[in-house]
A and B are shown apart, each in its own frame.
Chain A
Amino acid sequence: MSSQEGVRDLVNSAVESLSQVIPRVTQIYPPKAFQQTETQIEMSVLIGITGEVSGRIVLEGESPAFSKLGEAMFGMPLEGEMLHSCVGEIANMIAGKTSSILFQKGHKIDITPPTVVVGKFQMFGFEKGISVLVHIADVGEVNMILLLQQ
């Protein structure tokens, strides 16, 4: 697939995946360019994408929002290491579902195991960034960033 087509399909598939995996999504804001290199939020998960499109899926949010999201999805409030593991798994589900939706569109990508980062950090080595802000009822906001290497 062309890189432009690949980026478009990846963004659309990731947005579709968000609404399928995360319950009670009330609003998905339009994708916008991500240009800053430093994340602004305290907890992030990075999952690598390889294949027809390569890059990273980053899910970022505040701990209380992720804790409420874990409770909404799995029925229990979480903190500490179990919260980090849960957040990694939620991102894994979003990336896995994204790859399944892309596969149905005729594209093949693979994903890496998630890396959870606590604290702000800087990201380099991507050519294009797209962020999608999601509002979830009773949880708050979570931001998904797609970092693409073309």
Chain B
Amino acid sequence: MGNILVVDDAAFMRMMIKDILQKGGHTVVGEAGDGSEAITKYKELHPDLVTMDITMPVMEGTEAVRQIKAAYPKAKIIMCSAMGQQGMVVQAIQAGALDFIVKPFQADRVLESVERALK
């Protein structure tokens, strides 16, 4: 079970992911609505894992992954995005993300990815 930071610009999607994670026995320690806020919250909360959207205002998710990984190389981040094309996935993995979940997603797919990343 892990302490997780949920990053998505849509409040609804944060609520959905939080619900899935809590039902799976995890604790959501914080939420952020853009990449810049995610970096600030990561430094403050040191979560075990981050779920990260890509298309967000202020700073997109892939850039936030780069900056978090540069400061905290052991950070565990999985992407949750509606942008599922190969180029996006490759960029996110190259930036340091462990997995890429395409929206709309099933709860099982999220929990399976989170639990694998936390092992």
User: A-side interface residues toward B, CB under 8 Å?
Assistant: 21, 70, 73-74, 78, 81-82, 85-86, 88-89, 92-93, 95-97, 99-100, 103-104, 108, 111-114
Of B11-19, B23-31, B109-117, the one touching chain A: B11-19
Given known contacts A96-B55, A113-B57, A89 and B81 CB-to-CB distance under 8 angstroms? no
- Say yes or no: A86 contacts B12, CB within 8 Å: yes
- When chains A and B are docked, how far (Å) is the Cα of A39 from the Cα of B19? 35
- When chains A and B are docked, how far (Å) is the Cα of A13 from the Cα of B62? 25
Given known contacts A82-B15, A93-B104, A111 and B83 CB-to-CB distance under 8 angstroms? yes
- When chains A and B are docked, how far (Å) is the Cα of A81 from the Cα of B82? 21
- Say yes or no: B85 contacts A103, CB within 8 Å: yes
Given known contacts A108-B87, A113-B56, A96 and B81 CB-to-CB distance under 8 angstroms? yes
Q: Report whether over half of chain A's contact residues are helix, strand or loop; otherwise say mixed.
A: helix
- Say yes or no: B12 contacts A113, CB within 8 Å: no
Question: In the complex, which residue of chain B has the Cβ closest to the Cβ of A103?
Answer: B85
- Say yes or no: A89 contacts B85, CB within 8 Å: no
Contact partner of A100 (CB less than 8 A), chosen from B10, B12, B56, B84, is B84
For B16, list chain A residues within 8 Å (CB): 74
- When chains A and B are docked, how far (Å) is the Cα of A101 from the Cα of B15? 28
For B104, list chain A residues within 8 Å (CB): 21, 73, 93
Given known contacts A103-B87, A111-B55, A96 and B15 CB-to-CB distance under 8 angstroms? no
For A74, list chain B residues within 8 Å (CB): 12, 16
- Excluding A81-B11, A89-B103, A100-B83, 10 further A-B contacts by CB distance (< 8 Å) are A73-B104, A74-B16, A82-B15, A89-B12, A96-B81, A97-B84, A100-B85, A104-B85, A111-B83, A113-B57
